Chains A and B, each alone.
Chain A
C-alpha cells in the first residue's frame, strides 16, 4: 500500500501516524509538507494527522483546510483515494467541506484524554471491514474540540446511509448522537476523533487502530 501523511505546521501526531502505518501495514508512508501542491503519484491512502495545525488559529483546522496540500487531497479524494483524518485531521476535513458538520468545544469545556470504547456502527466500510464480527473497538481520544455537531437532518441522513462508522459508548465530549467517526457519501473519506495511531499494538492498550489501517490496505 502506498500512503502519505500530510504534515501541517503544528501537527504533532504525524510521526505517530507514520510509525502506526508502517507497523500496521508493513509499508512506510511518504511525509508531505502542507505547502506541497502535488502529492506522490499512485497513493492509496492519505492520512491527516492530529495536532494543532496553524496553532488552531481562527478555528481548529480552518487554516489547514486552505493549504496547497489540501487542494491536492481534495482532488485525490474525488478520484476515490482513501483519506483518513484523525482528530485535528477530522476538523480539517470538515473545514475543507469534505465531510459535513463541525467540531465544537467539548461540552464540559475540558480537554479529554483517555481510552474510549466505541461501537462499530457500520462494519462494512473500507475502514472497518477488518474488524470481522467484532462490534466494539477501543481507542484513545485526546481532544479539546471533539464535540461533533451537525443538524438533525444531516445526522438522520448519515445514519440512514450507514455513514456513522463509530459511536462512543460513553460520550466523552458531548458529540451529537455520540458520533465518533463518519464517512463521506462515496465511503472513501473517514473523519475519526479517537486516535487509531495511538492504538496499533497491545502495549499501547489496544491494537484496534492497526485493524483500521489494515482494513484500508486490504480494500486496495
Chain B
C-alpha cells in the first residue's frame, strides 16, 4: 500500500513561512489570497495490505516521529 502523510502547523500556531508567501503573492498582484499555510508531504510504501491496519500503523508513525503534535496536525491517506 502507498501512504501519504500531510503535516501542517496547527491553527493558531504562527506560520511565518505562510505569511511571507502570502505577502509575496499579494506583491505579485494576486490580491485575493489569504490564509496561506505551508506544510509537508511524506509519502512511502508499506508492506501491510490491510487498509485499516496500514492507517493505524501510519498514525502511530505520525504520533512518534512524522509530526510534532505540540505544534502540528496531520492527515493520513492510504491507497
Contacts and interface: CB of A to CB of B under 8 A. Distances in A.
Interface of A: 58-59, 62, 66, 94-95, 100-102, 104-109, 147, 149-150, 174
B70 A105 contact: no
B16 A109 contact: yes
Contact of B71 (A58, A149, A174): A149
A104 B65 contact: no
Interface of B: 9, 13-14, 16-17, 20, 65-66, 68, 70-71
A106 B19 CA distance: 12
Nearest to A109: B16
A58 B65 contact: yes
B20 A109 contact: yes
Contacts of B66: 58
A150 B13 CA distance: 10
B65 A106 contact: no
A51 B9 CA distance: 23
Contact of B65 (A66, A105, A150, A174): A66
Name the prevailing secondary structure of the B interface residues. mixed
A76 B13 CA distance: 32
Contacts of B13: 104, 149
Contacts of B17: 105, 109
A10 to B, nearest CB: 17
Q: Which of B13, B16, B66 has the most CB of A within 10 A?
A: B16
A62 B13 CA distance: 18
A66 B17 CA distance: 27
B68 A62 contact: yes
A155 to B, nearest CB: 13
B16 A106 contact: yes
A91 to B, nearest CB: 10
Contacts of A62: 65, 68
B14 A102 contact: no
Contacts of A59: 68
Given A58-B65, A62-B65, A109-B20, A104 B70 contact: no
Contacts of A102: 68, 70-71
A106 B14 CA distance: 10
Nearest to A61: B68
Contacts of B9: 104
Given A62-B68, A105-B16, A105-B17, 18 more contacts: A58-B66, A59-B68, A66-B65, A94-B70, A101-B70, A102-B70, A102-B71, A104-B13, A104-B14, A104-B16, A104-B71, A107-B14, A107-B16, A109-B17, A109-B20, A147-B14, A149-B71, A174-B14
17 contacts: A58-B65, A62-B65, A62-B68, A66-B65, A94-B70, A100-B70, A101-B70, A102-B68, A102-B70, A104-B9, A104-B16, A105-B17, A106-B16, A107-B14, A109-B16, A109-B20, A150-B70
